[in-house]
Structure 1
Amino acid sequence: MDFEVWPEAIELGHLFAERHYELSLVGGPVRDLLLHRPSHDLDFCTSARPEEFEPILRQWGQGFWDMGRKFGTLGAVRRRADGTEVKVEVTTYRSDSYTPDSRKPDVNYGSSLQGDLSRRDFTINAMALRVPELEFVDPFSGAADLAKGVLRTPVNPFQSFDDDPLRMMRAVRFVAQLGFTITPDTAAAITEMTDRIAIVSAERVRDELVKLLLSEHPHEGVEALVDSGIADVVFPEIPALQLEIDEHHRHKDVFEHSLIVLDRAMALETGPDGPVPAPDLTLRLAALVHDIGKPKTRRFESGGKVSFHHHDIVGAKMTRKRLKALRFDHRLTEDVSDLVALHLRFHGYVDEPWTDAAVRRYVKDAGSLYERLNRLTRADATTQNKHKAYVFSHAMDEMEARVDELKKKEDFDAIRPDLDGTQIMEILGIEAGPLVGKAYKHMLEFRLDNGPVEEDEARSELIRWWSEQR
């Protein structure tokens, strides 16, 4: 086997061997070694019990943790000379048992490395490397599956997924991360057992979705999520995009369109110093769900036309509800929902270029999402008509150039009315209350329409508006 093992793993192997304990590198780090992929967190299993190897980790590391002690797991971290850190977790050989209504195992200590490997999710994660002797252990042909690019469980897939249903989502996630395919028998078991996902917490489902979307192949991962039937349980709005195409093909397959938009949005992500560094969860999630309001708003009009009026607003509400159910944090939930609500906003510019006031409003409404919104809008323009594609792209270029010019004259992030609340109360002779807020809102609209003006002009406008209100 052609690979270079981490020196920290070899060192730990010697420390365990000196005390006559077995130690093996297992799971993801071994898989990544064979794939020549970087891995900074090292997982080990050992014949020693936690109380026996705790002193070794405390001696070896500069930091120690034991949150997983009840599962037989202890961890440590060490800083290398170059400033990078290596984290290790060591777990006693285990032989878990599960109850039908929980994916949390009753932990039983095992007696052998092979027994420990048999309880793992997939064969590509059921390989080990004994240290320090560097003996490769592969009882379930994980290396062969790795070479074939397939995902298979080391034991009967029905038993594996019944024990821990989250493994079904992990299979889909590995499709996205590694570009692998799921073997037919494993895929069949997933399809038959999707209802078991119900015992998995929303937070764990969310975490798998995040890893899927931030991977190298999220398109394939989402397809696998839908094809397996898992999406029907965890995110039913996505498979609902597979609308039946009308006989005249007056609208696109919304699911396929959404995956194309996801691919195009990813291509518009920037480097680490750009405005939307890759991978960007907010942009990718918005690209995937931007049209989820279409199934609810589809109408068949006269002449064979199909309409989706207000699918942006409906979709934003659906997005907010689903992301809350999956326990996404408030900021991301609001940002993705706002992008869905705004994703059609620019289309009016293509028909008739906006005034400076309309451009200001677009930027003001987009706020911190401006760069993402423009990328989502560009990604959503999937027409095959070259002329239409050129006109749309040219219009977006023009609008962005106008925004850059306007930003040289004023700070869009700090746009406020030319009169503040205190000045409004003083000029109108009123006390704090709803009327002040109403006046403030009018002066903000005036500011967006006219740009910055002198205080005298702002006072005159406020007095004019006030006289109309009275």
Structure 2
Amino acid sequence: MIEEKIHFILKRLKDQGFQAYLAGGAVRDLFLHRKSNDTDILTNAAISEIESVFSGQRIRIVGKAFPICIINGIEVSSGRAGTGTDGFPESDLARRDFTINAMAFDPVSNLIIDPFNGRKDIEDRVIRFTREPLKRIEEDPVRMVRACRFLALVKGSFSLSTLDALHACRDLLAMGVAKERISHEIMKAMMLDKPSLFFRALQQTGLLPFIFPSLDRCFDLDGGIHHQETVFEHCMLVGDALPSRLPALRLAGFLHDTGKFDAATIENGNLTFAGHENHTQEVVKDLTGLRFAAKDISYINALIKAHMRPLTPETTPRAARRLLSMLNQHGLSYQDFMRMRIADKKGNLAKKPYTISEIRFRLKKLFDEIHRSCAFNINDLDISGHEISDLLNITPSPEIGRLKEMLFEKVLDDPLLNQNKELKKLCLSLAGSISCNKNRPLTPG
């Protein structure tokens, strides 16, 4: 279905004697039966003529080299930009990246313009550059990453000419490309049905070492005695098992075991990866180089480091509280921790996935402690630094912070101690040990 405001723009342009079409991603998604967030109207009206036709509407112009009109939130571009009107709209479509994006559709007359057989490529699930593959890549090397994303979108394959061009031009990805654009493509890929196809395409074309070398090095790395699949294959299974509505979590799933390459050792003739969750330096380096937001890097790093924390039938209430405290300190929710744990198990071909009852049992261990209103953060203590300062008759100092850390450890062991009166008693009893450690006397008031 075409939105009413899109119909309005198309019809008004046509009523004024201009040609107007839906173009690019909107047409592609129409034939893929997907809801599109990529609406682009193409017309042979000049920018000044578009402004005149839609005077009185919400309109603004963006871009300098190739200006685009935004009318009521819809992008309208002029086919005259840089090319004139000969062969419109074919001349504009010829400059698009892939055949599946080089179609135009007039929903008013139901006319489809498809000069490069993009509709057939959609049916055949083939990703093919429009006309000259090498030229399309040289115009914008990020199109190579987009090619891999579109392959994952259609769950298809590359044409031979496209695959050859990707192999031939892969080095261009390291030359002056805005890394933010690559990270943007990655996050869009995470919202697809099966993003592992994106990573497999990057690996197939030799692009993965330029984007995630930390993951690429795991391609042939054996999974060890606890897995039947390689580390790379395991990461693919885990990432696909996570929800598409949480792209950062999903990306963490695809990267969660990259530290196994650094942790790999042979013990008693077996390949092991003890402490691999702590080897995050390479994946953080990759994410930083791709200009991911600091909050996303911190989140992914924390998830990787936390994903091996045990939560089993033997987990005690004390251990559950410490797990929740660790998640709190890293800004992680127990929901995302559990999602990662469930996906990690599902992606291990040597083991059975968690059953619903096993998941509920583990969640209950966490819920029991959450519902007790336990302190999971040092700031949840029922005593402030000022109160400690007054109680011990000392000025604010690092010792107060150390004392709060000791109180917090006590409260994690016994949540009933998190009462102001009890904490004050503990302060008085612990003050001596702090003064001994610091060689600074603390004088209780």
CA deviation vs aligned residue, 1:6-40 (integer Å, no higher than 9, x gap): 55444433422343322222111122222332235
In structure 2, relative to structure 1, the CA distance for the partners of 1:395 and 1:436 (3 Å cut) is farther
Cα distance between partner residues in 1 of 2:80 and 2:159? 26
Does residue 26 of structure 2 align to residue 36 of structure 1? no
Secondary structure (helix, strand or coil) at the match of 1:66 reads: strand
Q: 1:13 to 1:456 in 2, by over 3 A?
A: closer
Tell me the amino acid that sits aligned with residue 360 of structure 1.
Answer: R
1:212 aligns with 2:189: yes
Given the alignment, which residue of 56, 69, 75 partners 1:74?
Answer: 69
1:64 equivalent to 2:52? Answer no
Distance 1:394 1:25, change over 3 A: closer
Q: Taking structure 1 as reference, are residues 369 and 70 closer, same or farther at Cα in structure 2, changes over 3 Å only?
A: same
Among 233, 236, 243, the residue aligned to 2:220: 243
Give the C-alpha shift of residue 152 in structure 1: 0.8
Selected match of 1:155 from 131, 141, 148: 131
2:367 corresponding residue in structure 1: 404
Report the AA paired with residue 65 of structure 2: K
Residue 429 (structure 1) aligned with residue 359 (structure 2): no
CA pair 109-448 structure 1, distance change in 2 beyond 3 A: farther
280 and 308 in structure 1: CA distance in 2 versus 1, 3 angstrom threshold: same
Tell me the distance in 2 between the aligned counterparts of 1:249 and 1:28.
44
One of 199, 204, 210 as aligned partner of 1:222: 199
> How far has the Cα of 1:305 moved from its partner?
1.1
Distance 2:229 2:235 in 1: 10
Q: Structure 1 residues 147 and 226, CA, compared in 2 at 3 Å: closer, same or farther?
A: same
Cα distance in 1 for partners of 2:230, 2:110 equals 52
Q: 2:143 aligned with 1:167, yes or no?
A: yes
Q: Distance in 1 between matches of 2:135 and 2:236?
A: 33
Cα separation, 2, equivalents of 1:464 and 1:146? 73
Alignment of 1:4-23 (within 5 A): 5-23=2-20
SS in 1 for 2:62: coil
Pair 1:192-2:156 in alignment? no
Structure 2 partner of 1:335: 299
Quick one: which amino acid aligns to residue 306 of structure 1?
L
- Counterpart of 1:461? 426
User: Which of residues 317, 324, 334 is equivalent to 2:288?
Assistant: 324
Out of 417, 442, 454, the residue aligned to residue 381 of structure 2 is 417
Instruction: Please tell me whether residue 293 in structure 1 is matched to residue 259 in structure 2.
Output: yes
2:441 maps to none
Q: Is the partner of 1:115 in helix, strand or coil?
A: helix
- Do the aligned partners of 1:250 and 1:306 also contact (CA within 8 Å) in 2? no
- Match of 1:446, as an amino acid? K
Q: Letter of the 2:414 partner, please give it.
A: N
Q: For residues 270 and 246 of structure 2, what CA distance do their matches in structure 1 show?
A: 36
Give the counterpart of 1:201 among 170, 178, 185.
178
Distance 1:383 1:178, change over 3 A: closer
CA distance in 2, matches of 1:213, 1:17: 38
The CA deviation string for residues 215-248 of structure 1, in whole angstroms up to 9 with x for no partner, is 1121211111221111111221121111343998
Aligned residue type for 2:30: L
Other-structure match for 1:89: 75
Give me the whole-angstrom Cα distance separating, in 1, the residues matched to 2:319 and 2:356: 19
Give the conservation status (yes or no) of the 8 Å contact 2:375–2:412.
Answer: no
Paired residue for 2:246? Answer: 280
Deviations 1:420-466 (A, max 9, x none): 21121122221101111111111111111110324443223222222
How far off is 1:407 after superposition? 2.2
CA displacement 1:340-381 (0-9 Å, x = unmatched): 0111111xx44x823322211111211242210111112112
TM-score, normalised to structure 2, is 0.88
Matched to 1:293, the amino acid is: G
Equivalent residue for 1:55? Answer: 52
Cα shift readout 1:83-103 (whole Å, capped 9, x = no counterpart)? xxxx421212267xxxxxxxx
Please give the residue correspondences for 1:371-390 in structure 2 after superposition, counting only pairs within 5 Å.
Answer: 371-381=335-345, 382-384=347-349
1-structure distance, mates of 2:348, 2:78: 56
Tell me how far 1:76 sits from its aligned partner. Answer: 1.0
Mark the CA change 1:247 to 1:285 in structure 2 (over 3 Å): closer, same or farther: closer
In 1, Cα distance between equivalents of 2:348 and 2:106: 55
Change (3 A) 1:41 1:121: closer
The answer for the alignment partner of 1:311 in structure 2 is 276
Structure 1 pair 440–28 and aligned structure 2 pair: CA distance change class (3 A): same
Aligned to 1:80: none
Q: What is residue 100 of structure 1 aligned with on the other side?
A: none
| Aligned position for 1:452 | 416
One-letter amino acid matched to 2:54: L
Equivalent in 128, 135, 144 of residue 120 of structure 2? 144
- In the alignment, the residues of structure 2 paired with residue 294 and residue 263 of structure 1 have an alpha-carbon distance, to the nearest angstrom, of 20
Q: How many residues align?
A: 427
- Residue identity matched to 2:369: L
The answer as to whether partners of 1:50 and 1:69 remain within 8 angstroms in 2 is no
Q: Can you list the C-alpha shifts for 1:296-346, whole angstroms capped at 9, x where unaligned?
A: 121123x3211223211112x333332222222222211111000111111
- Counterpart-to-counterpart distance in 2, 1:439 and 1:247: 44
What is the TM-score normalised by the length of structure 1? Answer: 0.83
Counterparts of 1:173 and 1:354, CA distance in 2: 41
| SS in structure 2 at match of 1:341 | helix
Q: Against the structure 1 CA distance between its residues 246 and 140, is the aligned structure 2 distance closer, same or farther, given a 3 Å change threshold?
A: closer
Cα distance in 1 for residues equivalent to 2:249 and 2:36: 26
User: Percent identity of the aligned residues?
Assistant: 27
Preserved CA contact (<8 Å) 1:30 1:127: yes
**Cα distance in 2 between the residues matched to 1:294 and 1:149:** 35
Contact 1:418/1:443, CA 8 A, preserved across alignment = no
Partners of 1:36 and 1:239 lie apart in 2 by: 33
